[in-house]
Amino acid sequence: MYEKHDIEEMLKAYLLSKSQLEEIESKIEKNNVLLKYNGTEFEETETEVIEAMTLKSSTISDIPKSKTNKKSNITENIALTYKENLKYTNKVDKIKLINENERYNKKAEPLRELTEKVERMLRALNNEQKLIVKTYYMSEQKWNYVSNTYMEVYKEPKTVTQLKNIRNTALKIMLKVINI
């Protein structure tokens, strides 16, 4: 059984929860794309492979360490090894990505639940009540700001007491929705 303060806390947490949920869902989608292309083979042209190999910077292990080491000739290495790089297989750590998605889904579930509850409760309100509740709980918790916003939208002034009464009525409606 929810009470007025529970709804107020949900409303205050709504924007942050919605943003976090969007970020988590974005990460899940990215992992799903990586999983989708796992094992896909790509074949590149000889020109593309040779160009990529010539643009690659030399690594420390390729640089000779003493006078007795044989000299490394980049052109020679490319000519001898480019055929090995013609086929590229996309390899990802499938288990890691699946585990990450499970972790993300566990984090997303309470956020999904909260955002869905708040959206259901807001659907039961009229436009005037929605404006006051959203402005007060999701934008700025100052009644002067709510009063100014109300005045801009409805071109009609309301006192802070009137706005609070409308807010209280809205919270009662929201309690009826959630405590069914």
**C-alpha–C-alpha distance, residues 13 and 42, integer Å:** 46
User: 35 with 67, same domain?
Assistant: no
**C-alpha–C-alpha distance, residues 175 and 170, integer Å:** 9
User: 81 with 100, same domain?
Assistant: no
**Is 178 strand, coil or helix?**
helix
Q: Given 88, 114, 145, which residue is the final one in a domain?
A: 88
Identify the CA nearest to 97 among candidates 26, 25, 31, 27.
31
Identify the CA nearest to 27 among candidates 86, 121, 76, 97.
97
* Number of separate domains in the chain: 2
Categorize the per-residue pLDDT at 31 as very low, low, confident or very high, splitting at 50, 70 and 90.
very high
Say whether pTM exceeds 0.75. Answer: no
Determine the residue type at 165.
N
Q: What is the tens place of the pLDDT at every residue in 59-92?
A: 555 555 555 555 556 666 666 676 777 676 777 8
27 contacts 104 by C-beta, under 8 angstroms: yes
User: 172 with 116, same domain?
Assistant: yes
Give the structural domain span for 142. Answer: 4-40+90-178
Q: What is the tens place of the pLDDT at every residue in 87-137?
A: 767 778 889 999 999 999 999 999 999 999 999 999 999 999 999 999 999
User: 71 with 56, same domain?
Assistant: yes
Q: Given 71, 88, 105, which residue is the final one in a domain?
A: 88
User: 57 with 77, same domain?
Assistant: yes
Q: Given 88, 117, 148, which residue is the final one in a domain?
A: 88
31 contacts 97 by C-beta, under 8 angstroms: yes
- Looking up tokens 């910077």, which residue turns up? 57
User: 29 with 117, same domain?
Assistant: yes
Identify the CA nearest to 109 among candidates 5, 11, 6, 28.
28
